[in-house]
Structures are given as structure tokens and as C-alpha cells.
Amino acid sequence: MKASDTRRLKRCDIDLTLLGMGTAPLGGLYAPVALADARAALQAAWDSGIRHFDMAPMYGLGRAEHLSGELLREAEPESFRVSTKVGRLMTFERPGRTLPPEPPKNEFDSGWHNGLPFREVFDYSYDAILRSYDDSRQRTGLGRLDILFVHDIGRVTHGDLHDHHWSALTKGGGFRALQELKSAGLIAGFGLGVNEWQVIRDAMEEADLDICLLAGRHTLLDADAETFLPLALQRDVDLVIGGVFNSGILASSSGRKKFNYVDAPPAVLAKVERLEAACRRFDVPLAAAAIQYPLRHPAATNVVIGAKTAAQVTQNVSWFEQAIPDELWHALEADGLIPAVPSRSAAEASPA
């Protein structure tokens, strides 16, 4: 399996490389990233054959889109694919403008260490979706955006405000705006980009989704989405899998102890030790197993991984392309560390 290998999306009529470049770290996630390092990381991804770049207005409050566009504007227009997100508008304080109070930080928002001087305002309405599309086109300077993900809709993110934002997306025309963009040929497809699979399930009843990004819920450590994956397969909704290192703990158990953006609890640390011990028996780095694991399920289409430096990109590609014996997966299943993976026919036959 090569990072540059491609897979055709079921409903979007485009290909994505099996490994995509996530750009959240370039916005200063957890720590600042120097401009030279960010540019080198993007170039390393391109040089490795990665041609799917996933970004969002949120990442560095516009910084990731600016940096990614700088690289991609110089490439042949049809030689890469871009996904970005809608649901947050970037704005700023000025005399005469009253901005809504900043929402309380949710558990998935770590802040940005060298983001741009803007403030985010959540808005999932018809007009806001169209404005977000235009803003991302301008920040990236690209003539085409391939995929739009509705970013961080869900109760975990919004708490008591979820019903308000959900109404804007459904009754307020947010989904309608996305469908119009697709019908006009301005995007190839749309869906949700979230940490909560339950809201993808709910959205499937409201709109004809094409592709969704699910972060941190289909990993070696977190099988929370196991019951949802067959539904996505049945509905022909492609799944981009993010957060495969669960905020870093699976990239190196001796390094960052974050799990899903917060400090890892003892039970998670203990499971990581068991996973690493099993991988060691087969001479496989834990991170290689983590980055390849999601694609074992037929519902998963590709994996996106973030990186801060060229060296991290190169390491991620090496882990992704490392040969892993089937015996390791069988051992992890036998030990109850991962669920058994169904065949494609079995998954498609599972009840929704």
C-alpha cells in the first residue's frame, strides 16, 4: 500500500490518495509552527505523492488555508484534491461591529498558538455556507474546492446551542446551499467533518451526503464508530478517517500523553501498553499499525494525517507504507484489543 495510491469516491466522481495531508498542526495546534517548517511539511507531502489536502478555516484561524494555497496554486489544477470546511466564519473586532460572545471552549478545541488575528463565529445557515465557500476560495487562491465538510456540528461541540445550529443547517438552508454548490459543479461533494459519528447518522436523514470526515472514533484505541460503519457503507457515504493517533498517543506511547485532545486516563494508557507490546512481537511500530488500521474496514476510504515538519510527514508515509503481517491483526483481535473486521459483503448486509 502506497501513500500515492488512489481510490475512487462512490458519489463524487473524483479520486483521493489513500493518505491525505491534514493541515490542523500548521495552524499552531498545541504549539507554534514556524513558517519555514510549515512550508517544508506541505512540500514533503507533495513530494511523497500525497495529493489530498484537508484544511479548514478554523485551523490557525485561516493560516492553514493560506499556507496550503501557497503550495497548491503552483501545481497543475487537476493534479490534487482539496477538502475544506464550513460552519465557522472568520471575522474581527472593529468600531461599530458587535460580535456575539465567544462560545465556551469545548473539549475538542485546544486553541492556536500562532493563528491569524481573527475570531471565529459559528454559522451554519444558507448565507454563511456560501460566504464560507467564497472566503476559502479567496484564502487559498484556488480555482476549485473539491469537498466541503460541515465542521464540528454536534452536541459534544455545541452543547445547549446544538439545536440552534442544527436548525440553521437543516431548516435554515445550510444543507441546501451545499447541494446548490454541488449541482452547479462548484464542488464535487459534501458531508460532515466531525468527531461524533451520531451526528453523521442524523444528517443522513436530512441530506444526501457524499463523503464525511470522522476523527478519532475508528482507531486502534477507539472503536466507538464500529456500529455506524456498516450504515455508511450501505448508504455509499465515503469516510475519510482522521485522528488515527488519537491526538498523538498512538504515534509514540513514550511521547505525548494526549488522548482525543485531553490528558489520557489510566485505562487508555494501559491499553496503549498492551497494543505496543503486541506490535513489538511482530516488529511493527505502534504508529504504523495505527495509521493503517482504519483502512482494514471496507467503509473507510482514506486516512488524513497532520504533521508540523517535513520529517514528520516522511515518517508518517513510512509508517503508512510499511508491510504489516496479517498475523498482527489476528493477534489483536484474539486479545480483544480491536474488533473483528467484516468482509465487505458482510458489512453491507448488516442492518442499519
Contact 67/40 with Cβ under 8 angstroms?
no
85 a catalytic residue: yes
* Residue found by looking up cell 513514550 in the block: 254
Beta-ladder partners of 346: none
Active site residue 124: no
DSSP state of 27: G
Name the helix (H) or strand (E) containing 315. Answer: helix 310-321
C-beta separation of 249 from 256 below 8 A: yes
Q: What residue has cell string 504515534? A: 251
Strand boundaries in the chain, DSSP class E: 6-8, 15-17, 19-22, 52-54, 81-86, 88-91, 119-122, 147-151, 189-194, 211-215, 238-242, 258-259, 262-263, 300-306
Q: Which of 37, 85, 123, 308 is flagged as catalytic? A: 85
- State how far the Cα of 320 lies from the Cα of 117, in Å rounded to an integer: 35
Q: Cell 489530498 identifies what position? A: 52
Residue 79, all three cell numbers: 493534479
Determine contact, residues 236/212, Cβ cutoff 8 Å.
no
Are the CB atoms for 222 and 250 separated by under 8 Å?
Answer: no
Chain center to CA of 166: 20
Given the residues 13, 15, 47, 59, the one annotated as active site: 59
**Among 5, 10, 13, 54, which one carries the catalytic annotation?**
54
C-alpha torsion sign, points 266, 271, 276, 278: positive
Cell of 314: 516522511
List of residues 6+ apart from 14 with CB closer than 8 A:
8, 81, 146, 188, 189
Q: Is 30 assigned a catalytic role?
A: no
Report the catalytic residues.
54, 59, 85
